[in-house]
Structure 1
Amino acid sequence: MKYKIGIIVVLSLLIGLLYTYKKGVFDSGDDEYAKLKLPETVNYNFHIKPILSDNCYTCHGPDANKRKAGLRLDLETSAFAELPESPGKFPIVPKNLRESTLYQHIISEDGDALMPPPDSKLALNPYEKRLIKKWIEQGAHFEKHWAFLTPVKAEVPKFETSDPSHKDWGENEIDGFILKKLGDNDLHPSERASDATLIRRISLDLTGLPPTPEQGKALMDDGSESNMAKIIDGFLASPAYGERMTQSWLDVARYADSHGYQDDSYRTMWPWRDWVIHAFNENLPYDRFLTWQLAGDLLPGATREQILATGFNRNHPITQEGGVIQEEYRTNYVLDRTNTLGKGILGITLECARCHDHKYDAITQRNYFEMFAFFDQVDEKGLQMDAVQAKNKKFFADPPFMTISEEETEGVLSFVNLEKGEKINVMVMNDSAPRTTRILNRGEYDQPTDSVRPGTPPTIFAFSDKLPKNRLGLAQWLTDTENPLTARVYVNRLWAMLFGRGIVETSEDFGVQGSLPTHPELLDWLAVDFMEHGWDIKYLLKKIMLSATYQQRSQMRPELERADPENKLLARSPRFRMSGEMIRDYILTTSGLLNTEVGGPSVKPYQPAGLWEETNAGADRGILTRYVPDSGDDLYRRSLYTFWKRTLPPPNMTIFDAPTRDFSEVRRQKTNTPLQALVLQNDVQVLEAARVLAQGMLEKEPDSPDLVRDVFRRILIRTPGEKELLALDAYYHDAVALYKKDGADAEKLVAVGEYGQRGTDPAKTAALMLTAQIIYNLDETITKE
């Protein structure tokens, strides 16, 4: 009994201490919030709307089905209107806190009156309450959502800094906006990065590959600031540029070499991928790049290339199973195209309005199905194709390796291989007879309700009556210079490609629940400038890369760690890990193994045995039941060309956060896991690359005292520091001595991989191979900085 009483007493004391601790923490937090300085002018979009969206829109937002008390707070008219359930009372009365019931509810000490309600687990902190108070006092001015306002070019701030050492900092307009925000936060920019760092950075950003040793030396000899534009132009002209840009677009386009679902059989869509590479290398303006993919078949006198581009909207998963309900899956395909348009091009979560009005953005379910209607006219008959992998070469070559035949039926475009006379069928878009589109109750294919015509959400940008109500009209709406989203979203995506995060971090969501832009004026300035220069992608990339902002060092400084640990203000260049595809390509390039052939069908590099068998439910029906790696040069092609099976994407790329491609993906997640280290330590491709690099070095200079230094420079471009070189040299010589004693281990190690052997000393090869592998495993090697 005493024992039980003792436990109760101890628990009571612990609970009391915990309560006191939590109260102290929260009181302390409240004090901190109270100290925060309010902005001189409270802005609705950047200060008030995020508070209302996070705390109020679930019950008082755009979704009419979930709205309570008849109160809607996302529109000025309803926020100022008399409350339906409380005559004579108004949610917000500008400049009148006492009569503003919204304010009275958020400061109430009565649990029954407090908003948000305590049981919602939501609460406004003191700073947020003070913001709303000041906003109402200043007149409670509403604005249209910032991303739905047509972008305009703000005046570029002058380059000014209080730091004398950065008095002349700045190369173009971008730097003015960045420096202004840094100054507002009592920060200053970083120094220019070294030539070696910049050349590696530019090469990775524009080609997805490191510069070769020859390129690195030549560019560093010519790498002065005045020659930076010429260096950038050289990389932009490389065929590898188109491959690098295509890699990112494949995620948006949900490209794969198999159909998905249970059977997951072969699909031949690589000629469309070849077109994307070709389009980027030819610098096809972004407005035309979109138009051809969405509606190339509807252009007057459409060329075969324009029709091929429409394969973009055939990239979704397609069932090959028997016994399915065709209308159910046809609806799913149209839903997929609609959602891809929203997420991949408009940067809006349209899919949230499939079953009901959007809970946060002013997009109704009717709006969703009006967008759906643009893709609802497509003839789906061409989706049934033979499950045969076409083994042909690239389409876009000089002269063309293949021609497009005149035959084009039921959404299939046929190619003829000039060497073999084979026919390759590729799915493209074509509209059937007009179909009536209906709103689907709860988004279900078998619950049609009211009919709708093709249209766009008026809250974003009204669809002109002058435009045709088909996919071509949709493309023209998207690329109208008044459309507030298209240019902003793509500019932001390119910024994220170069800086690791967009000006709007949520590249896929520019809606109310998305992140606010860190530099809104800069984003708008770039979007307008992009359109003014003919939607020229290469122009935009070069503009950003020539800025002093892009060319900064990446080293963290103590004041930045305190004031801006996430580097949102860009007082330094970012550091972030490369994608799995880039890491593999980096290793292949520096080892000398990379096959630089551009275009052509997908290939199967090394992969752990048995994975496909474990994920495949079918057998003996021509579907993908066994993984048979390719051989020869096909093992060393760029990762862009790796066969992509939806039910089992390339495992090493998946470990480095590659998506499945079941649906459009704009922003890959970023993780750090032990599996990533294990891949770099044990993968056959990495070990083979290290072996080939070691053999190549030893073949040229077997007795050179600079072997380790040269391997380091080949991989990382820069020269190693004294301590780095001493440590690696010691490791290499210790390993040589070890393998001289145990030749069998050395022979076993240097036999890894299929690439041909060279007549080099096994002990030295094994030792230098492991030294190279250590360098491949360095954080610096897999990081872009």
Structure 2
Amino acid sequence: MRRIVFLVVSFCCIVSTWYACTSGSQAGGALGNMPDTISYNFDIRPIFSDKCFACHGPDAAKREAGLRLDVAEDAYKALKENPGAHAIVPGKPELSEAFARMTTKDSSQLMPPPNSNLKLLPYEIALIEKWIKQGAKYEKHWSFVAVKSPGIPEVKNKKWPRNQIDYFILQKQEEKGLEPNEEADKERLLKRVSLDLTGLPPSAKMMENFLADNSPKAYDKVVDQLLNDPAYGEKMAVHWLDVARYADSHGYQDDNYRSQWPWRDWVIHAFNKNLPYDKFITWQIAGDLLPNATKEQLLATGFNRNHKITEEGGVIDEEYRVEYVSDRTNTFGKALLGVTLECAHCHDHKYDPFSQKEYYQLYSFFNNVKEYGFESIVGGPETWAKKPKMQITDEDVKSVLKFVNKPDTSNLIVSVMGDNTDSVRKTYILNRGVYDSHGEQVQPGVPVAIMPFSNKLPKNRLGLAQWATDKRNPLTSRVFVNQVWQEFFGKGIVKTSGDFGMQGELPSHPALLDWLCADFMSHGWDIKRLVRQIVTSATYRQSAVVSKAKMEVDPDNIFLARSPRYRIKAEFIKDLVLSSSGLLNKTIGGPSVKPYQPAGLWEAAASTGGSLGMLGTYKQDHGAQLYRRGMYTFIKRTVPPPAMGIFDASNRDQCEVKRQSTNTPLQALAMMNDPTVLEAARVLAGKLQQEKSAEQDKINKAFRLIVCRKPGDKESALLADLYKWRLETLTQQKASKLLAVGEYPLPKNADKIKLAALMQVIVNMYNLEETITKS
């Protein structure tokens, strides 16, 4: 009995000690590791935003006790319920009523209240106390402050940096006692940069040339070669298709076909010709409003018509028209400004300084489009696009729209933007966001907290585009640069790439982000230049090997003392498989294609456009169309491509600036059983069997084409043993069954057992984690 009591007491002591230690470190560290100077932006605002702003923040409707803690003047003034007291008294925490309520032991007075399930940790309380003692100085939210270029920081290791990026990264590493990794070996580095710039693995010739080039500029030459490859535009476009919620169907229950793919061709073209980012988004927001607008500029506005559109009979026209305008407003906020404007659709934003009125002022820029909530689906190809729309003729494709891959002479119609010219539709605040509950009428405007709208700008979408691309706008460049960084490092400098507001993550390297943004704008918003800076940095070129010590200090690789390691996107997995096998059809642009897909998926959908719908039955493509890049796979929103969804591709329902990343057994099963993978393995095996080389050489060559490096001796031996075992166990019947996959023809007079054995070895290569991982 005494032993049991002793164990219980000991356990309680251990738990108490653990809680005391962890509770003081969860918010950033032990009490002794507190910064010398407390920053409101980086130390205090995140605490207030999480624990206080829901009741004492920007949303007036939810504000309690008349107290607002997100604005200095309100926090300093006398309390409504107790005029003799002040929430915060700069320099005097003992007189600050808010601090007293945070530290009281009286549960009826404690803030946050116990029933909120929120609690301030000891470290957070200590930070707030020190901040008040230092004067309780408020700062404008970091992302709402105009970009200014900081100086290049000093570092101890002056030999490592290759360009300015590296100084900012190394400074942080040195502060944390970290050292950067050595440069990755040439094979892994080439695979990395090739996947990042083109979405394709390097060719055998490129691998040979790069390994043989020992000049100091060998890597720079490869980077330039890849940046000039037309596949660069396709790679860069995939992210923007997520942002723009591009799809090949309308998306509601009666999910019929739409012919919006010429806009996708334009996006690829824009990236390849390196259209400056300010023009890239101006054309998409307001290309139709530019003086003497060209058909290319009008086509670019398809960005704002990619939203879901209903074709269901019986819907209320105005309800869905309002839904479309809201979608464009929300997309503008998330894609270009990186803020959660949609939270102000029904009420003032609870955390960010955006009122519901400001939401509808911004909404009004998109509210004059000459469109309908519902259009009839009766008719031919002209119904595949919704008004306003433009026609692309054969003559257009020969002249102003040469980049559009129009495969035939039929009518080609695309949804674009176009405002009412005879009148201006009135805009009202919608009470609780209800489409027909009109409140106060509003005029075009923007959230003032970001940047006021100049009276010199036209109050239309062109003026909005000019406001967004003004170099004084604090968000536009930051958001895009962060998204580009995310494409190369797996996560942005701001991890929450769709939320730069109060609830978003703080930047890991704020000075670097601002330097990149200032440099980007001062060099004409040059996207290729920005990309080249990133991929030629020493930071990018590091090895991905991680030591135990680095894992302990920086498990999430926030400070980039190693190269990140993560799975490539769904589209590029397919591209890698097709490219390495020699099957890839490199045609750029054109209509989306329907590759292999399990039978019955579309047919089992709840509705497919009724008797008039084109998408009721999945009609698979054949021939070269089967081997198009993954980005051209047909996306039916209600039944997205399963092979892509398994690898976390977007179904394009709404704007998505960052994909989730999962790791499930289904992904391994897909790599072992997907018809495209099996066919690619068969085709590559067939090509290798026709070569006059030893079996081991064939295996080694396949490994190099797929994994993008030479196999080690142990790897070669294991693969050779697998091949030998398959030769011994396969029969003609089993081999024939394995080879009966895909439409690509079998080599004539092939030894089926040898072919199937090598095919099985190659399937295992495709299923290696390293194959579909960027490291």
> How far off its partner does 1:442 sit?
0.4
- Does structure 2 conserve the Cα–Cα contact (< 8 Å) formed by 1:195 and 1:224? no
Distance 2:5 2:408 in 1: 84
Structure 1 residue aligned with 2:443: 453
Distance 2:366 2:335 in 1: 15
In the alignment, does 2:413 pair up with 1:425?
A: yes
- Does structure 2 conserve the Cα–Cα contact (< 8 Å) formed by 1:382 and 1:427? no
Distance 2:404 2:196 in 1: 35
3-state SS, counterpart of residue 155 of structure 2 = coil
Q: Which moved more, 1:562-571 or 1:105-114?
A: 105-114
Distance 2:406 2:665 in 1: 48
> How far off its partner does 1:733 sit?
1.3
3-state SS, counterpart of residue 706 of structure 1 = helix
Distance 1:87 1:454 in 2: 39
Match of 1:239 among 230, 236, 239: 230
In the alignment, does 2:688 pair up with 1:677?
A: no
Alpha-carbon RMSD: 2.3
Counterpart residue identity of residue 205, structure 1? D
> How far off its partner does 1:352 sit?
0.3
Distance 2:435 2:231 in 1: 43
Distance 1:652 1:421 in 2: 32
Counterpart residue identity of residue 462, structure 2? L
Structure 2 residue aligned with 1:150: 146
Distance 1:416 1:168 in 2: 47
> How far off its partner does 1:30 sit?
3.9
Structure 1 residue aligned with 2:108: 112
After TM superposition, list the pairs within 5 Å mapping 1:570-585 onto structure 2. 570-585=560-575
Distance 2:225 2:379 in 1: 41
After TM superposition, list the pairs within 5 Å mapping 1:499-578 onto structure 2. 499-578=489-568
- Does structure 2 conserve the Cα–Cα contact (< 8 Å) formed by 1:223 and 1:231? no
Q: 1:388 to 1:281 in 2, by over 3 A?
A: farther
CA deviations over 1:704-759 (Å, ceiling 9, x no partner): 431211111111121111111111111111111222xx111111111211001103
> How far off its partner does 1:616 sit?
3.7
Distance 1:418 1:425 in 2: 11
Structure 2 residue aligned with 1:179: 170
Distance 2:405 2:643 in 1: 33
After TM superposition, list the pairs within 5 Å mapping 1:21-40 onto structure 2. 22-30=15-23, 34-40=30-36
3-state SS, counterpart of residue 322 of structure 1 = coil
In the alignment, does 2:617 pair up with 1:629?
A: no
> How far off its partner does 1:198 sit?
1.2
Q: Which moved more, 1:25-34 or 1:455-464?
A: 25-34
Distance 1:435 1:102 in 2: 47
Structure 2 residue aligned with 1:738: 729
Q: 1:15 to 1:426 in 2, by over 3 A?
A: farther
Match of 2:155 among 151, 154, 159: 159
In the alignment, does 2:311 pair up with 1:320?
A: yes
Q: Which moved more, 1:177-186 or 1:111-120?
A: 111-120
Distance 2:582 2:514 in 1: 43
3-state SS, counterpart of residue 501 of structure 1 = coil
In the alignment, does 2:46 pair up with 1:53?
A: no
After TM superposition, list the pairs within 5 Å mapping 1:756-767 onto structure 2. 756-759=745-748, 760-767=750-757
Q: 1:225 to 1:57 in 2, by over 3 A?
A: farther
In the alignment, does 2:658 pair up with 1:658?
A: no
Structure 2 residue aligned with 1:779: 769
CA deviations over 1:556-599 (Å, ceiling 9, x no partner): 11111101001010001000011111111110100101100001
Structure 1 residue aligned with 2:394: 402
- Does structure 2 conserve the Cα–Cα contact (< 8 Å) formed by 1:649 and 1:660? yes
Structure 2 residue aligned with 1:164: none
Match of 1:697 among 688, 701, 712: 688
Structure 1 residue aligned with 2:187: 196
Distance 2:736 2:341 in 1: 58
After TM superposition, list the pairs within 5 Å mapping 1:85-124 onto structure 2. 85-124=81-120
3-state SS, counterpart of residue 425 of structure 1 = strand
Match of 1:754 among 710, 726, 743: 743
Distance 1:417 1:25 in 2: 64
3-state SS, counterpart of residue 65 of structure 1 = helix
Distance 2:373 2:22 in 1: 61
Q: Which moved more, 1:275-284 or 1:759-768?
A: 759-768
In the alignment, does 2:388 pair up with 1:377?
A: no
Distance 1:666 1:266 in 2: 25
Distance 1:64 1:15 in 2: 50
Distance 1:405 1:767 in 2: 48
Counterpart residue identity of residue 346, structure 1? L
Distance 1:22 1:334 in 2: 54
Structure 2 residue aligned with 1:208: 199
Q: 1:416 to 1:224 in 2, by over 3 A?
A: closer
Structure 2 residue aligned with 1:5: none
Distance 1:781 1:648 in 2: 28
> How far off its partner does 1:24 sit?
4.4
Match of 1:605 among 595, 599, 602: 595
Distance 2:195 2:545 in 1: 19
Counterpart residue identity of residue 747, structure 1? S
> How far off its partner does 1:377 sit?
0.4
In the alignment, does 2:68 pair up with 1:68?
A: no
Counterpart residue identity of residue 394, structure 2? M
- Does structure 1 conserve the Cα–Cα contact (< 8 Å) formed by 2:87 and 2:98? yes
Distance 2:404 2:524 in 1: 35
Q: 1:638 to 1:738 in 2, by over 3 A?
A: same
Counterpart residue identity of residue 431, structure 1? D
Structure 2 residue aligned with 1:497: 487
3-state SS, counterpart of residue 403 of structure 1 = helix
Q: 1:61 to 1:229 in 2, by over 3 A?
A: same
3-state SS, counterpart of residue 617 of structure 1 = coil
Counterpart residue identity of residue 117, structure 1? P
> How far off its partner does 1:622 sit?
2.6
After TM superposition, list the pairs within 5 Å mapping 1:347-366 onto structure 2. 347-366=338-357
3-state SS, counterpart of residue 746 of structure 1 = helix
Q: Which moved more, 1:718-727 or 1:53-62?
A: 718-727
> How far off its partner does 1:25 sit?
3.5
Counterpart residue identity of residue 402, structure 1? D
Structure 2 segments unaligned to the other structure (5+ residues): 385-391
Q: 1:352 to 1:387 in 2, by over 3 A?
A: farther
> How far off its partner does 1:321 sit?
1.1
Q: 1:704 to 1:732 in 2, by over 3 A?
A: closer
Structure 2 residue aligned with 1:717: 708
- Does structure 1 conserve the Cα–Cα contact (< 8 Å) formed by 2:393 and 2:412? no
> How far off its partner does 1:631 sit?
0.1
> How far off its partner does 1:500 sit?
0.3
> How far off its partner does 1:232 sit?
0.8
> How far off its partner does 1:322 sit?
1.1
3-state SS, counterpart of residue 308 of structure 1 = helix
Structure 1 residue aligned with 2:469: 479
> How far off its partner does 1:113 sit?
1.6
- Does structure 1 conserve the Cα–Cα contact (< 8 Å) formed by 2:566 and 2:773? yes
> How far off its partner does 1:115 sit?
1.1
Q: 1:610 to 1:36 in 2, by over 3 A?
A: farther
Counterpart residue identity of residue 70, structure 1? G
Distance 1:15 1:387 in 2: 78
Distance 1:201 1:297 in 2: 39
Distance 1:609 1:544 in 2: 43
Q: 1:370 to 1:158 in 2, by over 3 A?
A: same
Distance 2:755 2:71 in 1: 71
- Does structure 1 conserve the Cα–Cα contact (< 8 Å) formed by 2:262 and 2:405? no
- Does structure 2 conserve the Cα–Cα contact (< 8 Å) formed by 1:34 and 1:126? no
Q: Which moved more, 1:19-28 or 1:666-675?
A: 19-28
3-state SS, counterpart of residue 615 of structure 1 = coil
Calculate the TM-score normalised by the size of structure 2.
0.94
- Does structure 1 conserve the Cα–Cα contact (< 8 Å) formed by 2:405 and 2:588? no
Distance 2:533 2:597 in 1: 40
Distance 1:91 1:225 in 2: 62
